Amino acid sequence: MGIKNYLVNRIAELGSIHMTLLDPDKVSANEFRELALMVQEYGSDALMVGGSLGISEGQLDEYLSAVKDLLKIPVILFPGSVANLSKYADAVFFLSVLNSADPYFIVGAQIQASVLLVKKFRNLEPISLAYIIVGDGGAVGYVSHARPIPYDRDDIALAYAYAAQLMGFDMIYLEAGSGARESVRPRMVSRIKQLVSKPLIVGGGIKDPERAAELALAGADAVVTGTIIEEKPELIKDIIRAVHEGGSSRRS
Ligand code: 1GP
């Protein structure tokens, strides 16, 4: 069926889906395996793997090959650089940091990666992603020379998101940055969803089920959490449930 279609179908079925981001740089191979299996059991809909700093292809291969046969949910790479590709994943978010001030992060890394995808990683399904950095921005905002959109400038975020849709991206990601003090605000999500029909993914700084539910209710098609599973793993089950319940209430 393909991973993009799986995500789109799952969103149609549930209203909002949950994706778990695991950063191999922050956990051991054993922890990675345990956390991946735990979120699968709790109903997370996909595993995203990546980070802004410090991941090599060798480490990705080691971590992913160990879980490949154990996971039924798809593994989608979320690369911080062209070195973050692995044949053991199912798909890759082929992302462009739309509000970077440096063309390398908009199209430079992508032309390097496109050659690798053809020559070396033909099994990876590319899903094009407009990556828009908001508020805190975190490490990814710093590393990719982004000019983060202020949390309250829904108008600017909307302009970027609609431009991304017109440019033909498969999906749009509003990112407050991993570990951000504040997540993207629900009002920004609902404003974008009034105009933009492409799947909207929201992540960064989501630390509790309440905020996860608010974002799903506001229209987030996918809610991503990463840091919380390392800091408070006991919350993840409720966060996943909150996203699914928020998505289903929005549709009813
Ligand atoms: C980062 O949006 C993701 O790319 C997840 O952020 O680590 O803050 O959950 P957190």
Q: Whose CA is nearest to atom 1 of ligand 1?
A: 178
DSSP the chain: --HHHHHHHHHHHHSSEEEEEE-TTTS-HHHHHHHHHHHHHHT--EEEE--SSS--HHHHHHHHHHHTTT--S-EEE--SSTT---TTSSEEEEEEETTBSSHIIIIIHHHHHHHHHHHT-TTSEEEEEEEEEBTT-HHHHHHTTB-PBPTT-HHHHHHHHHHHHHHT-SEEEEE--TT-SS---HHHHHHHHTT--S-EEEESS--SHHHHHHHHHHT-SEEEE-HHHHH-GGGHHHHHHHHHHHHHHHH-
Q: Report the CATH number that the domain containing residue 192 is assigned in CATH.
A: 3.20.20.390
Domain count, the chain: 1
Parent domain of 60:
3-251
As for ligand 1, residues whose beta carbon falls within 6 Å of it are 21, 175, 178-180, 203-206, 224-228
Distance 93 CA to ligand 1 centre (A): 15
Using most ligand atoms within 8 A of CB, pick from 175, 181, 184 the residue to mutate for ligand 1. 175
Q: Please give the number of the atom of ligand 1 that sits closest to the Cα of 177.
A: 1
Reported ipTM exceeds the 0.90 cut: yes
pLDDT digits (tens, 9 = 90+) for 97-148: 999 999 999 999 999 999 999 999 999 999 999 999 999 999 999 999 999 9
pLDDT digits (tens, 9 = 90+) for 10-49: 999 999 999 999 999 999 999 999 999 999 999 999 999 9
